[in-house]
Amino acid sequence: MNKQTLTSLGLLALALIVGAMIWFNQPSNDATGSTDTSSTTSTETTATTNSTQPSTTTTAENTTESTTAPNESATWLDQKIAEMTIAEKVGQLFLVRYPGDAALTDSQTYHLGGFLLFGQDVENATAESLITQIQTLQANSDIPLLIGADEEGGTVTRISRNANLVASPFLAPQTVYQNGGWEAITADTKQKAEILTNYGIQLGLFPVADVATDPNAFIYDRTIGLDAAGTSTFVETVVKSLAGTGVASTLKHFPGYGNNRDSHVEIVRDTRTIEELRTNDFLPFEAGIKAGADSVLVSHNIVTSIDDTQPASLSPKVIQVLREELGFDGVIMTDDMDMLGLADFTSQEQAGLAALKAGNDLVLSSSYASQIPVVITAVDNGDYSEADLDASVRRILTLKETLGILNE
């Protein structure tokens, strides 16, 4: 074999080797559109391949007409909601005042979302009896209950007024701050969360996000007593301190109480402009939402610059501001629907439905036995859409999952 022949064969072999290398490095056209079977495929390469190499397999991810059965593609939470009756869904939207001996029966009859404890409900309790009481309720509930108690500290506290439950009452935020600044607020928040979780309580209904600088104002003693910037820092500190503790953060009382009178005894008309609210009262709520707040409680004040005809708790316009302008997508709850003055706008029987149609997810109620049937009827006749009902149920169940009481 001469030198020219050997050279030709060498060139042919080299060409075959190069061709094989090129073939082995071509992108794969598999059903997922992935360009690499390893876990290190770059986002850029994947995006390019997906746009140029359409998948030939129909999946729930790349077509609006999935051939997969709904239960196979839905999340477990979606499946849970799909399996619930209308009555079960509606019951989840009610956080009710603890009804004493009727609690166990009512939680099952009305499929309640949870109970709110007041001082009289725990004044004679021991640590053991309270734990047993709550555990019994949970053990007999198909869907775990939210158990709440107002534990702002200072003038508003429930369980800590009983020395059998807590060694000394929770201090007011202003007192805690004056004693040790933001470090003390953090430590106090974590201590409260630990005590509440030990008893099986997931809602402490704090922090108060209202900006009040007038010591004579109704809400002042319940606030941190600082300006909007200081209140924002307080709210952010509390929300971040509660994260992961099993106790939800609740910002209240949206759109902001200010220096107004007591809405427990009358309907308050807040005549401040929307710009005043945006540059002052909204700021702590925005800080809390940005920090990851779980829920927001809406007041019964009439805020004329947003809605001059309805209390905030019954106003779709107020809820719209909270959802769209402030970007909150968690649970929105009403203040106590038994407060005086609401009767001028709705009957107790219709109050739950009115609050839900306004966009609230959770109704704080004592009149649930009459309110829940009204809501069920409204869903049945289309006056309250099942889509809106499902959206609220999903937020509430998501909160329960986040708090660790609802599991797949």
Average pLDDT value over all residues in the chain? 85
Name the least confident of 118-127, 279-288, 341-350, 354-363: 341-350
Cα dihedral sign for 295, 297, 303, 309? positive
pLDDT classification of 262: cutoffs 50, 70, 90? low
Integer angstrom CA distances of residue 73 from 59, 178, 307: 10, 53, 41
For residue 278 the two structure tokens come to: 């945006």
- Domain 78-402 fold is TIM Barrel (3.20.20)
Contact (CB, 8 A) for 45 and 35: yes
Burial class (CB in 10 A: 0-12, 13-18, 19+), 6: exposed
pLDDT classification of 235: cutoffs 50, 70, 90? very high
- For 255-265, b where at least 16 C-beta lie within 10 A, e where not — what string? bbbbbbbebee
CA 241 to chain centre: 16
Please check the confidence at residue 32 and state whether its pLDDT lies above 50. Answer: no
Cα-only R_g, the chain:
28
The pLDDT of residue 343: 80
Q: At what angle do helices 228-242 and 282-291 cross, to 10 degrees?
A: 20
Please check the confidence at residue 9 and state whether its pLDDT lies above 60. Answer: no
pLDDT > 70: percent of the chain? 80
168-196 confidence digits (pLDDT tens): 999 999 999 999 999 999 999 999 999 99
- What is the full DSSP assignment across 128-195? HHHHHHHHHHHHT-SSPPEEEE-EEETTEESGGGSTTTSSSPPPPHHHHHHHHHHHHHHHHHHHHHHH
For residue 42 the two structure tokens come to: 């770059």
Q: For residue 148, list its beta bridge partners.
A: 116, 203
Name the least confident of 11-25, 165-179, 257-271: 11-25
Mean pLDDT value of segment 82-92: 97
Contacts of 46 (CB under 8 A, 6+ apart): 33, 34, 35
Give, as one character, the DSSP assignment of residue 217: S
Greater confidence (55 vs 111) lies with 111
Mean pLDDT value of segment 330-342: 89
The pLDDT of residue 41: 31
134-153 confidence digits (pLDDT tens): 999 999 999 999 999 999 99
Residue 171: Cβ within 10 Å count: 18
Cα-flanking dihedrals φ and ψ of residue 252, to 5°?
A: -150, 150
For residue 201 the two structure tokens come to: 């309580």
Please check the confidence at residue 351 and state whether its pLDDT lies above 60. Answer: yes
pLDDT classification of 67: cutoffs 50, 70, 90? very low
202-211 confidence digits (pLDDT tens): 999 999 999 9
Q: Where are the domains of the chain?
A: 3-63, 78-402
How many residues would you count in the chain? 408
- Please give the Cα distance from 112 to 90 (Å, whole number): 8
Query: 171-175 long-range contacts, Cβ below 8 Å, gap at least 24?
Result: 172/221, 172/222, 173/207, 173/208, 173/222, 173/223, 173/224, 173/225, 173/234, 174/221, 174/223, 174/224, 174/225
Kindly state the greatest CA–CA separation across the chain: 112
Q: Which H or E element spans position 114?
A: strand 114-117
Contact (CB, 8 A) for 204 and 158: no
Contacts of 294 (CB under 8 A, 6+ apart): 242, 248, 249, 250, 330, 331, 399, 402, 403
Mean pLDDT value of segment 377-383: 98
Residue 89: Cβ within 10 Å count: 22
Please check the confidence at residue 367 and state whether its pLDDT lies above 80. Answer: yes
- Please give the Cα distance from 15 to 17 (Å, whole number): 5
Could you tell me which of 95, 17, 109 has the C-alpha nearest to residue 338? 95
Name the least confident of 40-44, 149-153, 203-207, 261-265: 40-44
The pLDDT of residue 213: 92
pLDDT classification of 341: cutoffs 50, 70, 90? confident
**pTM assigned to the model:** 0.81
Contact (CB, 8 A) for 163 and 119: no
pLDDT classification of 86: cutoffs 50, 70, 90? very high
Residue with tokens 């499929």: 111
Integer angstrom CA distances of residue 128 from 99, 135, 137, 198: 20, 11, 14, 11
pLDDT classification of 339: cutoffs 50, 70, 90? confident
